[in-house]
A and B are shown apart, each in its own frame.
Chain A
Amino acid sequence: DTAVSQTPKYLVTQMGNDKSIKCEQNLGHDTMYWYKQDSKKFLKIMFSYNNKELIINETVPNRFSPKSPDKAHLNLHINSLELGDSAVYFCASSFGTPNTGELFFGEGSRLTVL
């Protein structure tokens, strides 16, 4: 009964390719997020959606495009992958804003760009 599930868990691909990571939560939360964790463990927010609406869009290259078909799903599509995109990408969800309840993270998707 995974609360926040991401697929795939591991992704190895060549520079220039396009890839997607999917995320689903079964907690009934209304807010979902994508975070990027680089090799130095720094957790940086990329996007946040509340009830399918984009509410946070950090300074992320427009090669990254999130999509929320409903409030239980938030997918991340990345075009023209670059070496610097290699990282662990975490999906997370919460009720409302992060200070109204715990951020539940998925297990992460490790992306390696060769």
Chain B
Amino acid sequence: GENVEQHPSTLSVQEGDSAVIKCTYSDSASNYFPWYKQELGKRPQLIIDIRSNVGEKKDQRIAVTLNKTAKHFSLHITETQPEDSAVYFCAALKGPYGNNRLAFGKGNQVVVIP
């Protein structure tokens, strides 16, 4: 099955700086890559996703880039704010097949220092 690795496991940044989290995946057939954000004590929520036919996608201060050749994708957060402090999960899926699993990485703790 798909194996997703995230690094670094913890990232501390000064408020206003940029944060980058990288994920690698193992199955070259994977074609959908979402990012979920989980604030402390809250539920995970989708913040951005990208499909394999696109190399980059942006939504205000967040962007995701995909390198299919190297099998990695990254989350970029610019002008970080304290409310960006959270655990970020990347995931990968091949499909669409009903019994496919969305394989989550182990999460990155991002700490924005005011």
Please give the residue numbers on chain A whose beta carbons come within 8 Å of chain B beta carbons, in ascending order: 31, 40-45, 48, 50, 55-56, 58, 90, 96-100, 102-103, 105-108
Contact = CB atoms under 8 A, between A and B. Distances in A.
Given A99-B96, A105-B45, A56 B101 contact: yes
A40 B96 contact: no
A103 B96 contact: no
Contacts, number: 65
A104 to B, nearest CB: 8
B44 A90 contact: yes
Given A40-B106, A97-B93, A99-B93, 9 more contacts: A41-B87, A43-B44, A43-B107, A58-B101, A98-B102, A100-B96, A102-B49, A103-B44, A105-B45
A44 B34 CA distance: 15
A90 B42 CA distance: 10
B106 A45 contact: no
A50 B98 contact: yes
B106 A41 contact: yes
26 contacts: A40-B106, A41-B38, A42-B106, A43-B104, A43-B107, A48-B101, A55-B98, A56-B99, A56-B101, A96-B96, A97-B93, A97-B96, A97-B97, A97-B98, A97-B100, A98-B32, A98-B95, A98-B100, A99-B31, A99-B51, A99-B95, A102-B34, A103-B34, A103-B46, A107-B43, A108-B43
B101 A45 contact: yes
